A and B are shown apart, each in its own frame.
Chain A
Amino acid sequence: MLSYIIKKSITLLFSLFFVITVTFVLMQAMPGDPFSHLDNIPAEVVQALHAHYGLDKPLFQQYVTYLYKILQFDFGFSLVYQGRSINQIILEGFPTTFLLGMQSLLLSLSLGGLTGAAFSLRKKNNSFFLVFTSLWFSMPMLVIASLLQYLFAMKLHLLPVARFDSFFHTILPTITLSLFPSAFIAKLFKASLDEVTKTEHVRFAKAKGLSAKQIFFKHLLKNACLPVIAYLGPLTIYLLTGSFIVEKIFAIPGLGMWMVLSIIARDYSVIMGLTVFFSMILLTINFLVDIAYLFLDPKIQNYVIKQPI
């Protein structure tokens, strides 16, 4: 078991190293000098700037410094907004994005789980379920966000149009972010529930005379949860990248908004820094999911014991 955890941590570190290296290489490949947009500046000043940011050193040395700084959680400075460090941006934006992401995570898990379970237990309306969920996740987030905004905020005046001041402000963005994942989770959960229902041990439990409730909570739920837990990694990706659109449309001052702004302003260092930060979050979540799998899925435990890795 320990070797499994060690193996996963090595993978985590290696992936992190890979991400940092790729972003560094891409940063170097970006066209132009970071200071080329500053006109009418004498060459000495540019040289001084280069020296200040360490850009006059050889590439390898720059790379090592970059790596070393990121390991200390120092992501560097914004090139467009003067005097703003990326750490500051993360400190300001992350709580908002985190709150929004957690709310959407909870909503999509509960909504998707309930829908999937309800349709799996009823064993009716299968095609209705299929068409419904497909329609649900055929809508891109852009469309969902702007339709919700138009309907509930502009026409019905029920909820605020934008910004992020109170709980009511968070309702529309949360729904927008969680519609697609909840449809996906509903499909996934229903499929795996259906599959587990067909297995021998559940049929045996039924033959033994256990009530439907007991079967569901004791035998179905734990087994059927596994694919949903495995989906947590991709779900995090979706919520992080989805925050770009949602935060831009609803004018929420989170990390996604900063990402969009820096893409529009071509602020390379912020783009890179936030990419590394997002990947860090994601890799951590993937690691946690792997560990959770170890405790939930006996098959992996067998695999670990039988195969010395």
Chain B
Amino acid sequence: MSLNNLFEPASFSLKEYLVTNKEIKRSIFYKNRYLQIGLGIFFIIFVLSIFAPWLSPYSYKEIHLDQRNLPPCKEFIFGTDDLGRDIFTRVFWGARISFAVAFLSAFFDLLIGVVYGSIAAYSKRYVDEILMRFCDLLNAIPSLLIVILFVVLIGPGFLAIVTAISFTGWVMMARIIRAEVFKLKEANFVLASKTMGASFFTIFFQHIIPNVRFVAIATLMYSIPSAIFTEATLSFLGLGIQAPMASWGVMISDSISALRFYPWRLLFPSVILTLTTFSLNMIGEGLKKHE
């Protein structure tokens, strides 16, 4: 920058700024293949799961005892299970449960993680130390074991699963948020805003939160799949969603015993599950690329 430039009056037009900002936002999406693929796949599965009750003529608990274990055919495009229930319907009803588990626990992850991490980052050194040691402690116990103990204690069911997963899932989020907030609270723009007399809450909600948002979402893209996996594992252990409700975990673990003869009963729920977690991973990668 030459000296001349420095003394020229800064020209700032709001319109120009807004337009470029919009363009940048657009290009983030249009140039980012990962984000497109991820959001695309996720959107399709999500919409299908929302409209599941209207998409198929069957209900998820409708039993056709004369049409058990049918391979995929015209009437049942994904086949039927051991009680003659339509697998297509159950897969997308199961998606609702799995999404509900995943999103609720992700929400609590985010809430606890952001609050805990910010408190740790803003507090004095020894408080921070204690809070972070507690995180280490929780990290040192296999979280699946805590989840299992919790569900055994409360009794299996939707609420128990969500509580148990959110009880253990926030540790990674809290650590990442703490590191980010720690960096940001000393950043120049935050100091500038502080010198201009902004209150703590203004700084926190206008400067800190918007800046950790991408990292937080990218982290969520890893904790949501792990919540889905945990739900599947719990169902396999008989601690999951109870019949007649369907979830991917329940369907997969039910199908394993009959794998030799009816492989399609395993195939469809696991393909949809894999596609979902894959799309979330892709979204995470896409967001990471644009930091």
A residues whose Cβ falls under 8 Å from a Cβ of B: 11, 14-15, 18-19, 22-23, 26, 29-31, 127, 130-131, 134-135, 137-143, 146-147, 149-150, 154, 233, 237, 240-241, 244-245, 248-249, 260, 263-264, 266, 268, 271, 275, 278-279, 282-283, 286
Contacts and interface: CB of A to CB of B under 8 A. Distances in A.
B282 interface: yes
A142 B249 CA distance: 9
Contacts of A11: 133, 136
A146 B256 contact: yes
A271 B274 contact: no
Given A143-B252, A263-B238, 7 more contacts: A15-B140, A130-B34, A241-B144, A241-B145, A244-B233, A271-B152, A275-B149
B143 to A, nearest CB: 8
A138 B281 contact: yes
A150 B237 contact: no
Contacts of A150: 259-260, 263, 266
B67 interface: no
B163 interface: no
A143 B211 CA distance: 37
A300 to B, nearest CB: 15
Contacts of B33: 127
B280 to A, nearest CB: 8
A134 B274 contact: no
B270 interface: yes
Name which of B142, B153, B237 has the most chain A CB atoms within 10 A of its CB: B142
Contacts of A138: 225, 274-275, 277-278, 281
Contact of B142 (A29, A140, A149, A240): A240
Interface of B: 33-34, 133, 136-137, 139-145, 148-149, 152-153, 225, 228-229, 232-233, 236-239, 249, 252-253, 255-256, 259-260, 263, 266, 270, 273-275, 277-278, 281-282, 285
B239 A263 contact: yes
Contacts of B139: 233
Residues of B contacting A: mostly: helix
A137 B282 CA distance: 12
A292 to B, nearest CB: 16
Contacts of B270: 139-140, 142-143, 146-147
28 contacts: A11-B136, A23-B149, A30-B152, A30-B153, A31-B153, A130-B34, A131-B282, A138-B225, A138-B281, A139-B277, A140-B252, A142-B249, A143-B270, A146-B252, A146-B255, A146-B256, A146-B270, A149-B259, A150-B266, A233-B139, A237-B142, A244-B144, A244-B233, A248-B236, A263-B238, A268-B152, A271-B148, A283-B140
Nearest to A145: B256
Contact of B153 (A26, A140, A154): A26
Contact of B237 (A130, A137, A263, A283): A263
Contacts of B232: 140, 142
A233 B141 CA distance: 10
Interface of A is mostly: helix
Contacts of B137: 14-15, 18
Contacts of A249: 256
Contact of B273 (A14, A143, A154, A279): A143
A26 B141 contact: no
Given A134-B285, A142-B253, A271 B273 contact: no
Nearest to B34: A130
Closest CB pairs A-B (n = 7): A138-B277, A138-B278, A143-B270, A134-B281, A241-B144, A237-B142, A140-B229
